Amino acid sequence: MPAEYRFKVVMLGDGAVGKTALTLRFTQDFFEADYKRTIGSDFAIKRVSLLDRDANVVLQVWDLAGQPRFEVVRQGFYRGARGGLLVFDVTRRRTFLNLDRWKEEGFSNIGREVPMVVVANKVDLTDSRVVATDEGKEYAEANGFLYVESSALTGENVEEAFAMLCRLMIDATKQ
Ligand code: G3D
Ligand code: MG
């Protein structure tokens, strides 16, 4: 029998990097989605099967709606989270430079051991790309995170990004 897990994860990153697009692509592509609206944040649920871990995961993906100003919203957003996707837009360097801020916000709200995956999104926009693969990889490695390049538009590596995070969270429960 596969092991059963339930994890809450948060989507972190600047506005318009594709957090909502990734969440919707992931949760609506393969299974029925249950996208719920709360004040200032949304979450969606998806069941994930990981054969290589002999595990099933019910993943609750939380996504900040807009830029909530209230601390109480952010507390609810982070409460119980076990992992994060650090998303940036490869066509806007500023969103890459701001990853450090999102990382620190995640660390201070969830803890410094929280598994994170750096997601370089919008790689379909090859002509306007400004952040190279090597830079993204270097940043992730320097911080002990995994790295993946995705496109919410084409669906490339979207499932993989969440699966990578699931594996990290499962492995973290065994340490
Ligand atoms: P956010 O939730 O991080 O704020 P959104 O970002 O998911 O709302 O995405 C912001 C804009 O980027 C949206 O366009 C969305 O369609 C687009 N987008 C998201 N992911 C990708 C991607 O992988 N490739 C491309 N080409 N576009 C993407 P609009 O025009 O609706 O603002
Ligand atoms: Mg959004």
pLDDT, one tens digit per residue, over 64-85 is: 876 666 677 788 899 999 999 9
DSSP state of 125: -
**Owning domain of residue 86:** 3-173
CATH number at residue 138: 3.40.50.300
Q: Which residues surround ligand 2, an ion (CB under 5 A)?
A: 19-20
pLDDT, one tens digit per residue, over 7-59 is: 999 999 998 999 989 998 998 854 344 455 555 667 889 999 999 999 999 99
Name the pTM for this structure.
0.94
Pairing of strands 146-149, 41-50: unpaired
Q: How many domains does the chain have?
A: 1
Q: Distance from the CA of 39 to the center of ligand 2, in angstroms?
A: 13
Q: How far apart are CA 67 and CA 87, in angstroms?
A: 15
CA 41 from centroid of its chain's CA atoms:
14
Nearest C-alpha to atom 20 of ligand 1 is from which residue? 18
